[in-house]
A = this chain, B = another copy of it.
């Protein structure tokens, strides 16, 4: 039984708390920390069976009974708390992205070299039933060598311009999931990225210095070409699809819906829209990634997504940013140096 402390009781912190309490057999939560901890959140924690709540995450790091820490706090705290937790010899599950700053991620890497703990990054989509099926088909040789990888990732609603300003930009905030997905499906790293992008959804996003619509082409190390298309707003809901085309065929997924019901009337043949919200769409994947993290601790194996898997999509995001600014293909190695 792994004893867990959770740092950050916002939306994603609550998701992981619920997963561990109801769907992870071998873990229990001892403490939840949040700088804004209040009576409501403490009551909610209690209702989930978690007795301790605190405003100070250091209580968790200093608690010798706690084996593992989930970092669900704001993005800018991910890397420093990761370093602290690793140095306190806690296993760490860190939400994505580790940091927007490569140097700070390198601090985490260094800390991991000095302390023998597990580290997992929260790219939950790898644990989604559809994307897993695509990956399995590719890994199982069903489609031969991958030639073209397509990832469609469109949000149902754009973020506020306020959020956009602090988000690090679409590539580090939204596409970062797709960069991870491309690596996962291709089974290798990207070497070069080219971005074509525009402000088509909301001019306020452009005024905040970002884009809201993008097509990103990537040259992968195994020779395959990947293409991601992103929009901040799909009128029909959350659009999350992938397709891998290879020498022997193709594997493709569609979106999940609430039901398979199709209504045929004089007006047409109409099915349900994709699940609208990422929590609906990916709830099972959150539980699955948590089970994998706990299992890696118990069996003392590698986590499925280590710190390098956290670093690589950030490099891809920074290269994409540079490609957009300089309007040219940018090698990932230009960022790494």
Contacts and interface: CB of A to CB of B under 8 A. Distances in A.
A231 interface: yes
B271 A248 contact: no
Nearest to A267: B270
Interface of A: 21-23, 25, 47, 129-130, 132-134, 137, 142-145, 147-148, 150, 154, 194, 196-198, 200-201, 213-215, 217-219, 223-225, 227, 229, 231, 233-236, 239, 245, 247-274, 327-329
Contacts of A267: 270
Given A200-B223, A213-B225, A268 B273 contact: yes
A103 to B, nearest CB: 30
B213 A147 contact: yes
A196 B219 contact: yes
Contacts of A218: 196
Contact of A262 (B25, B147, B219, B251): B251
A129 to B, nearest CB: 5
Given A23-B22, A227-B229, A265-B236, A260 B253 contact: yes
18 contacts: A129-B258, A130-B259, A133-B261, A147-B200, A147-B231, A148-B213, A194-B217, A196-B218, A198-B225, A231-B245, A234-B250, A250-B265, A251-B262, A251-B263, A252-B261, A266-B273, A268-B272, A328-B329
B271 A268 contact: yes
How many copies of the chain does the oligomer comprise? 4
Contacts of A233: 247
B328 A261 contact: no
Q: 6 shortest A-B CB distances, which residue pairs?
A: A249-B265, A133-B261, A133-B259, A236-B264, A22-B22, A268-B270
A47 B247 CA distance: 42
A22 B144 CA distance: 42
Nearest to A236: B264
A150 B247 CA distance: 21
Contacts of A248: 235, 265-266
Contact of A260 (B196, B255, B258, B273): B255
Contact of A217 (B25, B137, B196, B328): B196
A247 B201 contact: yes
A26 to B, nearest CB: 10
B261 A253 contact: yes
Contacts of A265: 142-143, 235-236, 248-250
Contacts of A200: 145, 147, 223-224, 247
A269 B194 CA distance: 32
Given A150-B229, A227-B229, A250-B263, 15 more contacts: A133-B258, A133-B272, A142-B263, A147-B198, A154-B245, A201-B247, A225-B229, A231-B245, A249-B265, A251-B262, A268-B272, A268-B273, A269-B272, A269-B273, A328-B329
